[in-house]
Amino acid sequence: MDQEAAESLNTSLTAGHILSIGAGRLSASLDKFSGWLLAGFGATYGLLLAHLDSVAVYLRVSNVKLGAAFFLAAACAAACQKLIAAYVAAGTAAEGDGRDTGKDLATAGVPLNVESMYKQVNQGLLWPWRTFNTRITAKAVGGDYAVMGRFHAKASQVQCYFVAAQFCLSLISAILLVCGISI
């Protein structure tokens, strides 16, 4: 491998690694915020519904119902972001473990059939992950080693959209409750 090819390889690997690290940290932070938001609003609605007969005098029940509907929509957004968070966490951890395993194998001089490895990994996946893995593998074989880092970064950004939607829906839910107060 000449100097230019080695530089290109190292640049691609470094970019992918940086993107994956950032995506993993962003994803974990968003997931934590989403969980606290869901727990707080869930507790509020739990208390309201448990004591609805005594608070109905001060709060329009129609606002509680509509607010609860927005809370359920927020919970759906939270579930979607949770799936993405799990995927990003698993992907970034596997990337780190794979990199360490690769270094160990290279240091020990152990031969590795990369094509066979990709094929065996793919065989352990179900649809749609198998299809996705096939595309990612093809890009990596073609020399694009930052592809997984970019995917992790994009996934964490989509997760951010779901958390923003959860926040907005939760805020609307709270506004409905406040507007329903009839004192």
What phi and psi, each to the nearest 5 degrees, are found at residue 57? -65, -30
Check: pTM over 0.85? Answer yes or no: yes
Virtual torsion, Cα 142, 157, 82, 64, nearest 10 deg = -150
pLDDT value of residue 1: 72
Tokens encoding 85: 């968070």
> How far is it, in rounded angstroms, from Cα 17 to Cα 120?
23
Residue-wise DSSP of 99-126: HHHHHHHHHHT----HHHHHHHHHHT--
Supply the Cα-derived Rg of the chain in whole angstroms. 23
Which pLDDT tens digit goes with each residue over 82-134?
999 999 999 999 988 988 898 898 899 988 888 898 899 999 999 998 999 99
pLDDT value of residue 11: 92
**Which residues in the chain land under pLDDT 70?**
none
Distances (CA, A) of 106 to 27, 99, 102, 109, 110: 31, 10, 6, 5, 6
In the chain, domain spans: 3-179
pLDDT value of residue 106: 86
Residue pair 112/105 in contact (Cβ under 8 Å)? The answer is yes
pLDDT value of residue 72: 97
Virtual torsion, Cα 123, 127, 132, 134, nearest 10 deg = 30
